[in-house]
Chains A and B, each alone.
Chain A
């Protein structure tokens, strides 16, 4: 029988104690893998949401840039208006590849729910907007024929809610104005799913906002210096520049601050699990004091005893760690639902992204922590003197 088999059999001698210790390690591994997966998933989701906007820089009227960006990301209304002439000014910059003007307008609809709600319409340019959003595909129909057409394109969820299909009519509350639905988009998993798109000039005309915009999306050329462009845009009067890279960095900084706290909690869980491992293995060594003495009197070297005890720790941590990572995979969607409950404005897509790198790292960290915890009990066992151990056995008899 080799040292691995002996270590395994020793663990089975106290099944409940072994199971409880492995359970503690499993929970630590689960928390660690889930948190690391959440960090990656959130970052990927944020990148995807921002990339799906189709532009790297957003120009809005003066106001709080983060509020404006958040509202735009979630398809809300802009804060103020800026003149349409800004399009030409921005286009003069050599870094700019494309621009797309947008005008968001909300109308209070008293017939939605008990107290009414705002119905929001996003006016977009029929020529420049679609190329900026190449990922948008149509379930039915297509984009508007012109920027003045009384037509609408509905995101997937907006169409579901309003039970609209291409050819159906929409009525703008309060204006008594009919529009024809000319397209329904496929589900994209972005904020566009809940958006009602209208031609920009139609929105300007209907809501008396001629020559006004709430946002200007700017797509920058591939090799262009975005910072240089941003610095020049900052000089424009009464507009503010929302760099999606900055928004991403700011949100990630906030997420990272929260992550440090949560990882601290995971670290405490890991330390508690390690203390449990030390306790379990040390108790096991104490209980087998005389047995270890007999092993040594039969010729086992201190290194053999050390390896045997250390192997018990390795098996315990290996099994607990693997079970914890398995649990993280199984409960990933539940964890994601819980995160979404507390963070309703979290990015779209999978929030807990587990992969080989993350789970491998979590497993190795748990294993390393466990092996470190096993050093002291293994060292104590290796130092047992055979005569003392046999004498203790004799005294007990």
Chain B
């Protein structure tokens, strides 16, 4: 992709209180754009799918599905193997008919968290 990700700082007055980070991911029937809002510790505060073509699009874009990601962080996705589609956080339940697109969304979330860690959090540690 020409622009593979987007990253925004969230300010409260002049202080950064969090980040919004969006990534593209190949889905079963088209590109998926997954956005996460995170606090300064890297914990997911909100989840949003901006674009998706899927038989389970309505369910995957629902508030209920997105709410499952609240409170998760990169460490929760460490055991998840996107290639084998195993090791996802236990609290995440796949909507019916979501199939490969659910796995694509999980892959996008893990990619999102890894990239944000690389772009923001590991730089701060240095």
Contacts A111-B61, A163-B1, A163-B24 given; does A171 touch B29 at CB 8 Å: yes
Please tell me if the beta carbons of B51 and A112 are within 8 angstroms of each other in the complex.
yes
By beta carbon, the residue of chain A nearest B58 is: A111
Judged by DSSP, the binding face of B is: loop
A131 within 8 Å of B (CB atoms): no
Please tell me if the beta carbons of A169 and B28 are within 8 angstroms of each other in the complex.
yes
Please report the total number of A residues contacting B with Cβ < 8 Å.
17
Give the Cβ gap from B82 to chain A, nearest Cβ, in Å. 15
Please tell me if the beta carbons of A111 and B57 are within 8 angstroms of each other in the complex.
yes
Contacts A111-B61, A113-B50 given; does A162 touch B31 at CB 8 Å: yes
Please tell me if the beta carbons of B53 and A162 are within 8 angstroms of each other in the complex.
yes
Please tell me if the beta carbons of A109 and B53 are within 8 angstroms of each other in the complex.
yes
Please tell me if the beta carbons of B29 and A163 are within 8 angstroms of each other in the complex.
no
CB-contact partner of B30 in A110, A170, A176, under 8 A: A170
Please tell me if the beta carbons of A111 and B51 are within 8 angstroms of each other in the complex.
yes
Taken together as a complex, chains A and B put the C-alpha atoms of A162 and B50 apart, in Å, by 13
Q: Which of B2, B26, B29, B52 has the most CB of A within 10 A?
A: B29
Please tell me if the beta carbons of A173 and B26 are within 8 angstroms of each other in the complex.
no
Q: Which of A110, A163, A176 has the most CB of B within 10 A?
A: A163
B54 within 8 Å of A (CB atoms): yes
Please tell me if the beta carbons of B53 and A163 are within 8 angstroms of each other in the complex.
no
Please tell me if the beta carbons of A163 and B50 are within 8 angstroms of each other in the complex.
no
Please tell me if the beta carbons of B29 and A160 are within 8 angstroms of each other in the complex.
no
CB under 8 Å from chain A, chain B span 56-80: 57-58, 61
Q: What per-residue 1/0 map shows which CB atoms of A95-139 lie under 8 Å from chain B?
A: 000000000000001111110000000000000000000000000
Q: What per-residue 1/0 map shows which CB atoms of A169-211 lie under 8 Å from chain B?
A: 1110100101000000000000000000000000000000000
Q: Which of B26, B53, B55 has the most CB of A within 10 A?
A: B53
Q: What per-residue 1/0 map shows which CB atoms of A334-373 lie under 8 Å from chain B?
A: 0000000000000000000000000000000000000000
Please tell me if the beta carbons of B50 and A173 are within 8 angstroms of each other in the complex.
no
Which residues from chain A sit less than 8 Å from chain B, CB to CB? 109-114, 160-164, 169-171, 173, 176, 178
A-B contact pairs, 24 of them (CB 8 A): A109-B53, A110-B57, A111-B49, A111-B53, A111-B58, A111-B61, A113-B50, A113-B51, A114-B50, A162-B31, A162-B53, A163-B24, A163-B25, A163-B27, A163-B30, A163-B31, A164-B30, A169-B29, A170-B29, A171-B54, A173-B53, A173-B57, A176-B55, A178-B29
